[in-house]
Amino acid sequence: MKKILGMKRILSLCLAALLLLVYLPVTSAADEKVITIHYQRSDGAYDEWNIWSWADAEGSGYQFTEKDAFGMIATVTIDTEMTRIGFLLRRSTSDNDWAEKEFGDRFVDLTLGSEIWVISGREEFLYEAPEGYADVVQFTNLEIIVHRDRYDGRLAEEEMRLSLNGEDIPVRKSGSEYRAVLNNVNSVQKPVITFIIDGKETAFEMSISKAEPGIAYRVYSGLGKGFLAGAEKDLGKEKMVKSAEVTGIDEINVRLSYPTTLVPEGFTAIGGDSDYSDLEPGYATSFILKTDEPIDLNTTYTVEFDGYTPLSATVGNKYFSSEGFEDMYTYDGELGAIYTKDKTTFKLWSPVVQAARVNLYPDGGKSELLEAIEMTSAGKGVWVAEVNRDLKNIYYTYTVTNNGEESEAIDPYARAAGVNGKRGMVVNLSDTNPEGWENDVSPPFENPTDAVIYELHVRDLSTAESSGIVNKGKYLAFTEEGTKSPGGLSTGIDHIVELGITHVHLLPVFDFRSIDESKLNENKFNWGYDPENYNLPEGSFSTDPYDGNVRINEFKQMVQSMHKNGLRVVMDVVYNHTGATANSNLNLLVPNYYYRFTSAGNFSDGSGCGNETASERSMMRKLIIDSVIYWATEYNIDGFRFDLMGIHDIETMNLVRAALDEIDPTILLYGEGWSGGTVQLPRDQQALKVNTPKLDERFAVFSDDMRDGIKGGVFDHQQPGFVSGDYSRREDVAFGIAASVFHPQIDYTRITNPDSENRPWAKAPSQTVNYVSAHDNLTLYDKFKASRPDLGETEWLEMNKMAALLVLTSQGIPFFQAGEEFARSKFGNSNSYESSDAINQLDWNRKTNYNDLYEYYRGLIALRKAQPSFRLQTADEIAESITFMDVEAQVIAYTLKADETLFVAVNADDSERTVTLPVSGWDILVDGQRAGTSAIGRVDGNTLTMPARTGYVLLQRDGAELAAPSDTSTEAESDSEDEQDSGRAWWPFALGGAILILAGAAVPMFVKRR
């Protein structure tokens, strides 16, 4: 008997394990695809041109690596099963990766082919090779002359052979020269000439795609790699120190142009590496020189080898990441111009320079120097100068000397500045406070999910004539109350308050580069994602950018006005890169420290803007944390949105949260969980969306799953989403409704965005920002027009309402772009970062023209604020409270049982659909026309018929009881096989049942045999 019972237990465990396997999500790795892009320019000037391509939300740069008879070739590899990728052709200079673009976004339809041919000046590209494109390389006579040399002087009698695509070519030797003649070559495209010395095939290889008679290939024996040279002078035999970088607390990495065995006096050489094999032992071109004492960064070191041109050592980027550097130079004190009436203390952190001074000026423009004051080194890399008199409103810069070269720049910690932010200003901040500032307090706010965020550019609020606002494009526009549109409706701050917003998210308002503040009459526009000074307001939004006090005072007036009107203020911060790169203020004062570099020694460009900052380094981390603390305390800022947060490291973001908690735990924090390109930081350390669980629960990221699920991909204007007809995106929408946390009914294998890795990426609803439109990409209205041109405005507005309903009734934090509530249009412009005010401004006439839509948004916001059920606080509450209905593919519906029982449904179909309700007896709070907190109708039965493209929110009346989830079903059957397939997965239940049936039969038989 014991044996039988034991076997039953074993069988039960096996069945349980099998059932567990049945219910586990199934994932499969996507096939890797390689896309080949050919590019032809009639001028042959390819040097600065490259490809920017994106397979989804993130993009990367790709260089042209090969050449053929048509032109240059680049390859793009993606690990996705997507059928489209986007690309741009751009020209990148040393200062600007986006110096020039050829046309706009273009898309490769991978169902038509994975190889394309692009011809400069033509927007259309080809999926087949153009006529005349050679599939072979042909030439009748080509002479190859190989000049050989050895850096160690031993030109031995090695055997040299040449081969063409693996077949030997006859070689004729004459002294140190080898000659080979290729006759009547008719080869496959891109033939390869290989140089083989003493049987070693590690020699130089070069593709020949455009044969030129008499060309000479010159290589060094045993080189392993070589180059093409047309003259003796190009052989590069001059003896020089090519580079000398401090890479450790006591080491300098040296590279020479010519191998040697010599070691400079006073150093010990370790390693010893060479590009050249087969050299005499001891010869090398690369040495690590160890010093006897720690290297003093304020001292210039010159590396000299006997007979070689010397070179001064620079501080290599690797050194800044070393533990020794962090220990010696991390400083936790106050930096910048520290003002009192009696004296001002200037503190600059710059451990790599040999001298520093403060320059004083009477104004922030181009006036002559008043005085230069030498600074002294105070340890930890800090330079200090004290001026014992009142310097209020005096402007200043720093000049540093690095390896004999002087650079002048503004203080990274400057709190005020003159025109265009080129000179800092010594400021008495108490003098900049508007009347009553000491009584300014933020409006009450408790949980992150209570927020309703409204994203707005300062100029957009007021520049249109229809705004009725006097201070157009200025901070002061936010202080004007009672403004009206030509239709007599509220505009400006009154409109925002009337709408029910809790947080106004301002696009960058720190000082940025792209607007010339001395030419404000030109009304230039820019979003401002090109930082110049992190700790002072942008001057073009003030009435006087020349006086550093004015912009601070008017910024504070703006904040004060919003607080008085019940609005909290969020700043869009861009610490991930700077507007300038090599000549940025940060890089001029501390060369190479604040940035990440590639293995090739170039500025890494994870931002797509020329550089990326190194947040993991202690003093860049300090700059970020000090900056947000300053804005939160001096300006009473209530939240921060981090641009391209995937460039930052997770530890820094969590330290930002901890620092702000010391000031006010209700300060809102969120950011973009992606980057603009390849980031030089391990992926598991990046503050990416998939790493959100490593962030504090009160640090949120944007849900591009919800965004693209509702309206379609942002990089493909024609691609629809769930509400516009692509019902396969329904799971993405359900994922967003559940705030990206775990929910037992979500099929994560059907999440579209590969960046989400088919798993929940948030651990609490406070970590998810749900949205459908923001400043970049098409506005929501323009997206619907582009993706459904077959429909008309009535249908586009219906889609707009469905999108708003889904976002504003979802768990998490809702966010939308200013003007979305009255069908904002940028006339199809998807990247309006420097377009005119006419494109970017809010047209307040649209509030009159689309008032029905505006009132719908207003009602949805009021409903969300009135219903705690839409603002749940934990993942467990969401899993327990939301039950998704088994409905048709065109419909998404769920019950929400928390404080009260609600039913939410959206019918995205172009015909009416009927759903069965779990019980009878509901009040209608939202339908396709109206939204609010009061009942606008009743559903007395247990079915709800929804017209085409409508959404509903129902509130269960007292007395009805909610049925079990399994009792819910749809009235109408699916119209197509696709609709049936896109319903919630049925096969795990069927298979599990079959297994149980078989198991029931198997157990008695098994026992009987025992």
Tell me: the pLDDT tens digits for 895-919? 999 889 999 999 999 999 999 999 9
Mean pLDDT of 105-127: 85
345-362 pLDDT per residue, tens: 999 999 999 999 999 999
Non-local CB neighbours of 250 within 8 Å, separated by 6+ positions:
290, 291, 292, 293, 294, 295
Catalytic residues: 643, 672
The answer to whether 480 and 470 are in contact (CB under 8 A) is: yes
How far is Cα 733 from Cα 740, in angstroms, rounded to an integer?
10
pLDDT of residue 56 exceeding 50, the answer is yes
Higher-pLDDT residue of 206, 742: 742
The answer to whether 815 and 769 are in contact (CB under 8 A) is: yes
How far is Cα 672 from Cα 646, in angstroms, rounded to an integer?
7
- Decide the pairing of beta strands 891-897 and 59-62: unpaired
379-392 pLDDT per residue, tens: 999 999 999 999 99
780-830 pLDDT per residue, tens: 999 999 999 999 999 999 999 999 999 999 999 999 999 999 999 999 999
Give the pLDDT of residue 670: 98
Per-chain mean pLDDT for the chain? 85
Share of the chain above pLDDT 70, in %: 80
- Decide the pairing of beta strands 284-290 and 268-273: antiparallel
pLDDT of residue 936 exceeding 50, the answer is yes
pLDDT of residue 520 exceeding 80, the answer is yes
The answer to whether 697 and 668 are in contact (CB under 8 A) is: no
Backbone phi and psi for residue 531, each to the nearest 5 degrees, phi listed first = -60, 140
848-887 pLDDT per residue, tens: 999 999 999 999 999 999 999 999 999 999 999 999 999 9
Higher-pLDDT residue of 871, 117: 871
Q: Is 837 helix (H, G, I), strand (E, B) or coil?
A: helix
Confidence of residue 959 (pLDDT cuts 50, 70, 90): low
The answer to whether 863 and 871 are in contact (CB under 8 A) is: no
Give the pLDDT of residue 990: 40
Give the pLDDT of residue 107: 85
* DSSP string across 912-953: -EEEE-SSS-EEEEE-SS-BSSS--EEE-SSEEEE-TTEEEE
pLDDT of residue 225 exceeding 80, the answer is no
Specify burial of residue 1003 (Cβ count, 10 A radius: 0-12, 13-18, 19+): middle
700-734 pLDDT per residue, tens: 999 999 999 999 999 999 999 999 999 999 999 99
